[in-house]
């Protein structure tokens, strides 16, 4: 994969990350211009696109068998551009929501396709490095946009939506930097031969990966959905503090994305248990925080954990599924991530009601215990797997022959 090719693909990651986040500063301004619109509809300006990502996620797998992935990326970016800037030219909340739905459809085309392009054109360390860079781009980009969101909003809510015009630059990069058909011959011996017309099934272990990935994303998204309420409850900060802490979290995601390849090479069996331990320690520390420094440290730990687990999920998906099912596999993975992201606030409310938790400190303490239990399970599975290899080395020899 050439440097220009990598740059083009990495900029596609920007599309997915900023799709929802960029509109957040417009909500308060929209409330002033549409005073009779319910708060729920205004919140949907940010979140509605997530729901409409799901239909095109699954359509992408079908299209990838008939047209090139570059064509799908171009189609998705054009739809994204229309949905992104469209609200700047309308005067009703209904049409704004329509364009936000269109934006989600565009993201649904782009997200699995650029991940499939990475999986098909990289192997081993290079693939891990690219997925780490994707995570790093997500983290640093999110932090930047959270920081400049207030500045953009100062020019009015229409200017916020006009900022989606940056997708035009990325569209041009895809057109000129990404080749139409370029994939490495990664077909596994166990896969059906090309032209057989038989699609290899997705392995059962992949569906466990999909579930686990969705759960760890939901755990991370507990932060943005509860942090403002937690800070108000504990008197540790106000609205501006929420933006600062989430920016710190995304910077931690950025740092983890840059370091995940090195950590995977040095301790390949310990990255997932390490991330789960950081989740457990982070939520435990947050539940006991008495000042903003401790709260910030705990959020840095949680962000670093997410930054480790996300590229691992991408790598495992690329390694575990047949080549011809890669786009479909990434569609399923991303569908799980978006679904569990949407479910995060419902999960928190459900836990609080079921366990009669009255404060967010108690809620974070429960999440720490759950993550700690997951850490112990992951550690036991790694030890069992390592012991099994020592006890039955002939099995590995047979598989490698």
pLDDT 10s digits, 288-343: 999 999 999 999 999 999 989 988 888 888 888 887 788 788 888 888 888 887 78
Q: What are the structural domains of the chain?
A: 1-182 (1.20.1250.20), 202-390 (1.20.1250.20)
For residue 395, what pLDDT is reported?
Answer: 43
For the cut 60, the answer to whether the pLDDT of residue 259 exceeds it is yes
Mind listing the pLDDT tens digit for each residue in 63-82? 877 888 889 999 999 999 99
Mean predicted lDDT score pLDDT of the chain: 81
- Contact status, residue 295 vs residue 236, Cβ threshold 8 Å: yes
Q: Which residue has the higher pLDDT, 354 or 9?
A: 354
Q: Quick check: pTM over 0.75?
A: no
Mind listing the pLDDT tens digit for each residue in 101-113? 999 999 989 888 8
């Amino acid at each position: 994969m050439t440097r220009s090719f990598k740059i083009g693909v990495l900029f596609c990651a920007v599309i997915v990350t900023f799709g929802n986040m960029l509109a957040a500063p417009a909500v308060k301004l929209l409330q002033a211009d549409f005073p009779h619109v319910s708060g729920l509809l205004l919140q949907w300006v940010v979140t509605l696109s997530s729901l409409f990502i799901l239909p095109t996620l699954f359509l992408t797998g079908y299209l990838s068998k008939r047209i090139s992935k570059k064509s799908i990326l171009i189609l998705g970016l054009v739809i994204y551009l229309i949905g992104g800037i469209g609200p700047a030219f309308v005067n009703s909340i209904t049409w704004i929501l329509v364009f936000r739905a269109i934006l989600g459809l565009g993201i649904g085309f782009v997200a699995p396709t650029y991940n499939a392009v990475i999986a098909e054109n990289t192997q081993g360390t290079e693939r891990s490095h690219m997925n780490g860079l994707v995570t790093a781009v997500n983290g640093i980009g999110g932090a930047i946009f959270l920081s400049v969101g207030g500045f953009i909003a100062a020019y009015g809510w229409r200017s916020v939506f006009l900022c989606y015009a940056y997708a035009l630059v990325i569209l041009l990069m895809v057109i000129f930097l990404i080749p139409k058909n370029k994939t490495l011959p990664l077909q596994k011996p166990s896969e059906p031969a090309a032209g057989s017309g038989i699609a290899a099934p997705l392995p059962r272990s992949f569906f466990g990966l999909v579930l686990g990935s969705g759960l760890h994303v939901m755990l991370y998204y507990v932060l943005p959905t509860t942090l403002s309420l937690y800070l108000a409850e504990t008197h540790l900060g106000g609205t501006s503090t929420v933006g600062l802490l989430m920016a710190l979290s995304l910077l931690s995601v950025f740092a983890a994305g840059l370091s995940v390849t090195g950590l995977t090479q040095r301790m390949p069996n310990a990255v997932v248990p390490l991330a789960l331990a950081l989740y457990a320690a982070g939520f435990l520390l947050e539940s006991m925080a008495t000042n903003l420094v401790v709260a910030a440290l705990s959020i840095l730990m949680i962000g670093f954990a997410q930054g480790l687990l996300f590229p691992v999920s991408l790598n495992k998906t690329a390694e575990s599924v047949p080549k011809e099912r890669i786009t479909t596999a990434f569609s399923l993975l991303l569908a799980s991530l978006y679904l569990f992201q949407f479910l995060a606030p419902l999960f928190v409310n459900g836990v609080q009601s079921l366990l009669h938790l009255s404060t967010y400190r108690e809620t974070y303490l429960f999440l720490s215990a759950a993550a700690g239990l997951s850490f112990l399970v992951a550690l036991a599975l790694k030890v069992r797997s390592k012991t099994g290899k020592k006890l039955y080395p002939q099995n590995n020899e047979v598989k490698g022959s």
